[in-house]
Structure 1
């Protein structure tokens, strides 16, 4: 034990004696608080050693004869932690539960994903008896839009005697989160450490030269960009302007300057020369990562060491030896292995899990020295590097390309610097003409990463809450959530804003006087009437468009008047839905998709008819091409825009004309200062509108989760899942379904929609409720390889459609649409097809899925089938689900299932 550790007492002294390092101050403070009987929230940077606090909680549980659960957000982290704790405490004392695996579940220490613990709490599992500590690793995941609610459910439901150890990345509102934890869990110590264990140096690489980002020569602690960097960029831009503009062949038109970034092989060679490997280069697309690796493979770059070749081959064989030999070619195995042998790799969610885990082990062991990765690597996986490279500071966030936030920048660069190995870490931003070095400096120096709750009640959560504690207590529990805690705190600021606005409005009113307020009210009534006339016109036009769309027949040729899809289109699948018809069309530009009334400012007019084949798969590129060609050959066209008659409607409106006459007759109308007062009046009105908006926000924010819960309960009562405040048998089945489309699954089972399906057919149908296309649009037409699949899918989509109407009526967020993009692929696989055919049969709008995505979606389908097997009261459906799981879990899907 070190000298510094001799002051430790009790169990902490015994625990520290087994460590190979002395405790940092934040680790010591956290452990002492824990041993003192407090819960703890520990916020510290990536790599700072937060997990030591979690391991001490395990030590305390074992020392007192109790039990500890160690929860993580993802299976890979659970496996990693299971291996660490098993090495320390032995296989008999440590278990693992991840959904895929169950190892020694009755052990005193069990590592699990957070969802597993949530499900145990709802089920009232016997495994909770004797539980004294729960470690929640990466607790900042509660901000995750899709899975974050699980963390709050666990925090709220754990028995009060269980001590909670929450480990989080550095967040800027740790005190707020800690204050909430104190209200729901009792005494909680908040320990925040913002010191990186390994100092981080920030750089910018311009061409083949690397500069420090910050000027560290002055002692005034002001943030300044390095002058040499600024000067060099200025010189480079001048030279580029002089040399980079070329006259195109033919001598006409303007030239254009093409910026060529530093080739990846040269970048890595430079980092190797500077002693900055191993490195992770973050590229915000899977294709970009694979392309970067291919670029390096085409070069002579080799970062490996000959003496490590056998060890690399052994690790590759350990993870991939069970892969079917026939599948290696389609998996890109040989190129992937060649890259690993040269010390290079890619890492992203589209890779086969076995490939990803191989890369992770080789990188941690220093046998792979450069990895091109998407940002998912920054979340949890223990893969620190000496250097992190950011090729761009913009990424696609699911909706648009957006600049990195300071929090994202901090999280990504947090991988740089390996504790106990490196004395410093390095972050390198690649310069392009779009990069503003001042903005980079702002990103690198800002420490704002607030934690925002994503907690919202859903059907499964609500039914479980009612079953456990009744509606009244459930409502009270929701009001104790972190989401409501944050919402209520925001109300304080809104109330202050209302008070300020009221004072401003009184002052403005006194400047205007009653006469002008009367006059100004007339002006506002005129504006509102004009807007009302315009709205009515839009409504009439939309009604006409809706009516015209409902009458379209298969093969009708129409013109889409405006927008990206403007031009000729043929109707492939009509839709007579009265409220929101969305016929499926194919345009002369080969685009296939659904259009709506929004695409038709004027009613759709049938220009002619095109004869279509009886069976037409619009997802096939060849079919789209042939139909589009036939459409263009019809020679149809026309269909101009109609006049809206907006001015005519306004002139004919008697109420509007009467208001205008009253305005002109008002005494204020003739005053010379009328427009000056009008500007004050505009401000007065703006303040009043802001105030009313804030009042509505206060009203909607207060008890907002409880109101949503009440609406959910209302819908569940209508459908017979709750009766008189009690959960029915159907409700209890819903309580065991944790899929995103939980109520659609429960309704489909209750109505017997999936009876009579074979195992592969059931897998195909349920895939529509888990699969999500990476490209916008999804799959809206009901397709399927067999008649039973098509029939079951049509019925399932019908259940969803009716549910969407009910959700709109109850003012609830809609359940997401079924997505049929994986139907053919999973059916091919579950029916015994090979990997190549299964990949080609599945994907996003004609693009085959990657092997990694294919395996991931197969496992998602397996997860839902397992829930159906355990939930369905129909023995036939339960048995079919069990067979379907076995049919899917083979080959690449079964290998390295962690």
Structure 2
């Protein structure tokens, strides 16, 4: 087949040890013909071959090719692959932390770097012929997805795009959009795996096929598989249910647990499907033994918990899955990657324990690890020496770590709010790692049996492809000023209306328009049937409706305004503030916080009689107002009566010194609305229909008409709003920017030009802080602490400790920053924009300590963070400091930003910048 290919493609295909698949050849043909191409195929099917062909074409035509990825680790991996093929002089790397040979013919970069280049009009874009967007389905990502659409819409028409995606159910829609906005674009889809995948359930110590009598092939689609669940698994499920019912009727013994019936199954390999088997979960060590004896290693074992992954490695300490040569190879890989770290840092990271498990063939891989440790695991796994990796689902998002087998311990994961079932799309993404092309003749997916498991539900996950791609594109402040600067308002709106988000929305407008037409027919008929001999019954009903509306809206507005004032008053509090609490009197604030992201704020206070309260907005009659502040020691303990008494004595002294009065917290009334309601009531009484004996029956008919009219207006507004939804959002963003002075008409002000360089979720808050000198007079460590609050987001935790700013100067700046955030939020509310997330001080002390030169062990002990999390957040603070240094121009703040970044770029952080 290779002989029939065009010479250029035949030459490229010869670089691979296997024949290219039909879909790969079709996609490469499309590129050769000058088209863009969207390739959607399962994980491990070899989509990147098409991206590599784009590189091949660029080199042959003396054009540039940018290869973009969503994560730095994948960028590093692809950079190394291309260096091996083309040499270091032809290949560059650009991430937030690394810049290697940036003007090379082939440059690998994160997608954000390319977006920033486009906005800046970088000369590096000259002679660009091809852009590969690896993992383009990331455009559905809530926080980062917009970047992919910005790049697709903004690249020059002459650039050919190669979009590589996981299999999605609406790939045709996505392809239609790409054709609409980019011109010549072909869609190539494959649902076939190059290596057949066998599905199993591990029951006790026995691997049982999920499907009965079906041997999968590489060319088989999931929908073609006879989805007949193995009768043996159904029997296990029935027997387990019977045992549960029997146990519920069994007499209880002294232990209170009833009779023990075959609690460990038969205790023999293969005996787990005994009719009385209770479905006992298999230990992780037992899983490793089963996989090794079945020759199913190397394997990735997915556990949806970082702690679970680390615990699993500890549970397998002493288990050896490697031979001497493999162990020595893994040891050398580990030592090479940590060569830049000192002994103290390695001790703080418990490196020796990590290395011992690694040499035994076992490791964990998750976001809490140092990039250096993850790089060790990734390289070791590719060699085949590392046999078993316990991983969270983040490993499935792009890193090239195929395995012979994938194990799923559970089919439920925590999504940050609740435990939910994994979706068929997630199941496919995870199990797609199984089966190494060119190494394995088959891959294996293993689901560990859990009590109550339904084998038919597992079969459903393994047989469906239901992963729709939904755009998350929405204009941000930074995007708005960049679009205004590069395109102007009219072309900026045009670009927004070309987005995939708008493309998907427009389809729903057709259905809404059809409903609206039907409603108008009903409305016309209802109007004809309403009449009163005394006058305009519909006009009379409209007066009544307007009165009701004003009363309701006034009440809601008052409640909303009060709620906002109450929340803002709690948010504004600092530790040590003296406030007057209803029914409790003068009190000192001990802690402030928020229930969860987007939840209500709260404050813990102690009153003069030592009563401790946790105040939330609904506990207050009016806003809290600080009348002074006392010092609350860092080691303050509520359990210590002397500590409590010292704080309360300080409060009493402060109140005497300031002669503080109970603040007036009454809410103002809305006299204008009340006056308008009174006028309408007078009009109502004077209306002729008011005297009609049938006015209430008229009112019922009229009320129906008003409801239909309101529904018609809602549909019209919704249809119009959908049709121009992003343009409306863009206008609201611009309105906020104009009110704050970032836009002057359609032109950017100096402040707007500064905002162009700040890429942060709280970009506008950061820019406002610069303008208001919030960061002025801070030293580098204090600045690091304050900037961390703009990037850090706490993970859900049961930890009751309350973070605080490290010193008075940073606390003062943070207080001012929060005030800016509240003011921006109030303006956003006025313009019907969602408020940006709340600044989070949870990393402030860690950033301050690291910037001040404290050693890694002490910082990690203080923060309780995993080493990888610590490094990641430090690097984000460094990145923001660098953005501000670029944005603010020459001066003291720029110097402090550079000093702050430099102070943090040391030790394990600096070492991992070279790794990741």
**TM-score scaled by structure 1?**
0.83
Q: Distance in 2 between matches of 1:593 and 1:24?
A: 67
1-side partners of 2:475 and 2:283: how far apart?
Answer: 49
Q: Which residue of 2 aligns with 1:411?
A: 429
Alignment partner, residue 283 of structure 2: 263
Following superposition, the deviation at residue 770 of structure 1 comes to 0.7
Question: Which residue among 615, 631, 647 is the counterpart of 2:632?
Answer: 615
Comparing 879-888 with 188-197, which one deviates more in the overlay? 879-888
Provide structure 1 residue ranges, at least 5 long, that are not aligned to the other structure.
Answer: 561-568, 635-652, 670-677, 843-847
Going from structure 1 to structure 2, the CA distance change for 1:514 and 1:215 (only over 3 Å counts) comes to farther
Cα contact 1:206–1:233 (8 A) shared by 2: no
Residue pair 1:177, 1:482 contacting (<8 A) in 2 also:
yes
State how far apart, in whole Å, the 2-side matches of 1:414 and 1:450 are: 17
Q: CA 1:540 to 1:865, structure 2 compared with 1: closer, same or farther past 3 Å?
A: closer
Match of 1:272 in 2: 292
Q: Name the CA distance, whole Å, in 2 between partners of 1:386 and 1:757.
A: 54
Out of 200, 205, 209, the residue aligned to residue 202 of structure 2 is 205
Contact 2:38 2:162 survives alignment (8 Å): yes
How far the C-alpha of 1:841 sits from its partner, in A, is 3.4
Q: Specify the SS of the correspondent of 1:60.
A: helix
Question: What SS does the aligned partner of 2:487 have?
Answer: helix
Q: How many residues align?
A: 836
1:890 aligns with 2:890: no
Q: Are 2:783 and 2:900, in contact at CA under 8 Å, matched by a contact in 1?
A: yes
**Aligned equivalent of 2:833:** 812
Change (3 A) 1:808 1:499: same
Change (3 A) 1:543 1:742: closer
Q: Is structure 2 residue 871 aligned with structure 1 residue 855?
A: yes
1:647 paired residue number:
none
Residues 119-518 of structure 1 aligned to structure 2 (within 5 Å): 119-216=116-213, 222-242=226-246, 261-297=281-317, 300-499=318-517
Query: Which residue in 2 is equivalent to 1:794?
Result: 815
Of residues 200-209 and 184-193 in structure 1, the stretch that sits farther from structure 2 once superposed is 200-209
Contact 1:828 1:841 in 2 (8 A): no
How far apart, CA to CA, are the structure 2 residues paired with 1:62 and 1:220? 41
1:758 deviates by 1.4
SS at match of 1:572: strand
Question: Which one of the candidate residues 888, 897, 903 is aligned to 1:872?
Answer: 888
CA distance in 2, matches of 1:428, 1:712: 49
How far off is 1:12 after superposition?
A: 1.4
Residues 630 and 210 (structure 1), Cα distance of their counterparts in 2 relative to 1, 3 Å cut: farther
| 1:186-220, Cα deviation, whole Å (9 max, x unpaired) | 11011111111111222222233332222346999
8 Å contact kept, 1:571–1:583:
no
Structure 1 residues 626 and 478: alpha-carbon distance in aligned structure 2, compared to 1, 3 A threshold: farther
1:310–1:558 distance in 2 versus 1, CA, 3 Å: farther
Task: Specify whether residues 408 and 755 from structure 1 end up closer, same or farther in structure 2 by C-alpha distance, changes over 3 A only.
Answer: same
Q: 1:321 to 1:161 in 2, by over 3 A?
A: same
Distance 1:487 1:133, change over 3 A: same
> CA separation of 1:524/1:396 partners in 2, compared to 1, >3 Å: closer, same or farther?
farther
Q: 1:820 to 1:247 in 2, by over 3 A?
A: farther
Q: Give the secondary structure class of the aligned counterpart of 2:311.
A: helix
Matches of 1:351 and 1:120, distance apart in 2:
30
Listed as ranges, the matches of 1:686-765 within 5 Å are: 694-765=715-786
Deviates more, 1:860-869 or 1:439-448: 439-448
Q: CA deviation at 1:535?
A: 9.2
1:13–1:524: structure 2 CA closer, same or farther, 3 Å change rule?
Answer: same
Whether contact under 8 Å (1:782, 1:793) holds in the other structure is no
For residue 587 of structure 1, report the CA deviation from its aligned partner: 9.1
User: Which sits farther off after the overlay, 284-293 or 471-480?
Assistant: 284-293
State the distance in 2 between where 1:869 and 1:196 align. Answer: 48
Distance 1:261 1:533, change over 3 A: farther
User: Structure 2 vs 1, CA of residues 870 and 668 (structure 1 numbering), >3 Å: closer, same or farther?
Assistant: closer
Matched residue SS, 1:359: helix
Calculate the TM-score normalised by the size of structure 2: 0.82
- Is 1:26 aligned to 2:43, yes or no? no
Coordinate RMSD, CA, aligned: 4.5
How far the C-alpha of 1:554 sits from its partner, in A, is 3.5
Q: Which runs of 5+ in 2 are unaligned?
A: 216-222, 264-277, 594-598, 649-677
Greater Cα shift, 796-805 or 322-331: 322-331
2: distance between equivalents of 1:120 and 1:876? 27
Q: How big is the shift at 1:255?
A: 10
Deviation string 1:616-658 (CA, Å, 9 cap, x unpaired) is: 45xx7x7355589979xx9xxxxxxxxxxxxxxxxxx9x9xx9
Residue 689 (structure 1) shift: 8.1
Question: Residues 751, 30 of structure 1: CA spacing in aligned structure 2 closer, same or farther, 3 A cutoff?
Answer: same
CA contact (8 A) 1:778 1:820 kept: no
Question: Residues 228-280 of structure 1: CA distance to partner in whole angstroms, max 9, x if unpaired?
Answer: 11012211332355458887786889999998521110112112222222111
Secondary structure of 2:130 counterpart: strand
Q: Distance in 1 between matches of 2:413 and 2:744?
A: 48
What does residue 803 of structure 1 align with? 824
Secondary structure of the residue aligned to 2:761 is: coil
Give the 3-state SS of the residue equivalent to 1:441 in structure 2: helix
> Does the CA-based 8 Å contact 1:68-1:108 persist in structure 2?
yes
Q: Does 1:785 align with 2:806?
A: yes
Does the 8 A contact of 1:50 with 1:167 survive in 2?
yes
Could you tell me how far 1:884 is from its partner in structure 2? 1.4
Cα pair 2:237 2:452 within 8 Å, conserved = no
* Secondary structure of residue in 2 paired with 1:92: coil
CA contact (8 A) 1:247 1:255 kept: yes
Q: Secondary structure of the residue that 1:768 maps to in structure 2?
A: helix
Q: Deviations over 1:797-856 (max 9, x none)?
A: 2221211111111111212221111111111111011112212333xxxxx111110000
Q: Does the aligned pair in 2 maintain the 1:312–1:341 contact within 8 Å? A: yes
**CA offset digits 1:763-821 (Å, max 9, x no partner):** 11111111111128999999422222122222222221211111111111212221111
Distance 2:314 2:36 in 1: 49
- Other-structure match for 2:856: 835
* CA deviation map 1:730-776 (0-9, x unaligned): 21111111122111222222222212221111111111111111128
Task: Specify whether residues 274 and 355 from structure 1 end up closer, same or farther in structure 2 by C-alpha distance, changes over 3 A only.
Answer: same
User: Where in structure 2 are the equivalents of 1:596-607 lying within 5 Å?
Assistant: 596-598=616-618
The 8 Å contact of residues 141 and 472 in structure 2, kept in 1 or not, is answered as yes
SS of the residue 1:205 aligns to: strand
CA offset digits 1:154-200 (Å, max 9, x no partner): 11111111111111111111111111111111110111111111112
* C-alpha distance in 2 between matches for 1:721 and 1:538: 32
2:69 alignment counterpart: 72
Q: Can you list the C-alpha shifts for 1:666-703, whole angstroms capped at 9, x where unaligned?
A: 7999xxxxxxxx9x999999999877654443232111
* Alignment CA distance shift 1:687-1:288 (3 Å): farther
Distance 1:394 1:221, change over 3 A: closer
| Structure 1 position 460, deviation (Å) | 0.8
Residue 769 (str. 1) matches residue 769 (str. 2): no
CA contact (8 A) 1:582 1:594 kept: no
Contact in 2 for aligned 1:779/1:819 (Cα 8 Å): no
Distance 1:885 1:612, change over 3 A: closer
